[in-house]
Every structure is written in C-alpha cells, then in structure tokens.
Amino acid sequence: SGAIRKFTAEVDREALGMSVTAVVVVKIDERPWPQVREDLAALPFVEKVQAVSGDIDALVTVNAPDNTALSQVILQRIHEVPGVVSSRSLLILDEAEGHRPGAG
C-alpha cells in the first residue's frame, strides 16, 4: 500500500563511539530553507535536521564522541552555516522509545 518506505537497522550510537547527543535549536534568517537544511545536514556528526513551527526555525540532532567534538560542531560549524542566526543546545541525558507507527 506504500506505507513502508524502507527497512533500516537500529544503530547503537555508543557502540559507534558516539556517546553524547544534543538537540540544537536553531534560528535562521531569510536565506532559503532548502539551502540551510542541506548545509546543516552535511556537517559532521549531524544525524537529522528538521524544520519546525513556532518561534524557532529548526532542530538539529547531533551525535558526537565527546563534549569537545560536540562543542566544536555547535559553536563553530553550525554557526558558520550562512543563514544561522543563533542556537540553543539541549543535551540528551536519557531516552526511551515510544510507539512507532504500525509497530502494534
């Protein structure tokens, strides 16, 4: 019926040496979203870039091996992307899976 787009494997971030995860809340200026999205997604350690509604513009999920690498991605690389005005970082301390669509 087209409901399943792809099959994927669940990756253990810590097994890959990515022990620190943060969600970075990003505000952008008038630069076109597709360009900002692609530039952010191309950065090292960036897992996901999402446009959101409200008083912020995007959420960027970053997985890094340690706080030093995470800091470099957030404070240097993300802020070097044309169109990025500001960011706020939320460090993930714990997480649990909820119900996925179609998982029963």
**CATH number of 24's domain:** 3.30.70.920
Q: Quote the pLDDT of residue 17.
A: 65
Over the chain, what is the mean pLDDT? 89
Q: Report whether pLDDT(83) > 90.
A: yes
Choose between 12 and 97: higher pLDDT: 97
What number is the average pLDDT over the span 94-102? 81
Question: Is there a contact between 78 and 23 (Cβ–Cβ < 8 Å)?
Answer: no
Specify burial of residue 43 (Cβ count, 10 A radius: 0-12, 13-18, 19+).
middle
Q: Is residue 8 in some structural domain?
A: no
Q: Is residue 27 in some structural domain?
A: yes
Domain count for the chain: 1
Task: Identify residue 33 by its one-letter amino acid code.
Answer: W
Q: Report whether pLDDT(12) > 90.
A: no
Band (31; pLDDT cuts 50, 70, 90): very high
Q: Give the strand pairing for 84-91 and 20-28.
A: antiparallel
What number is the average pLDDT over the span 71-92? 95
Q: Report whether pLDDT(11) > 90.
A: no
Q: Is residue 42 in some structural domain?
A: yes
Q: Report whether pLDDT(19) > 70.
A: yes
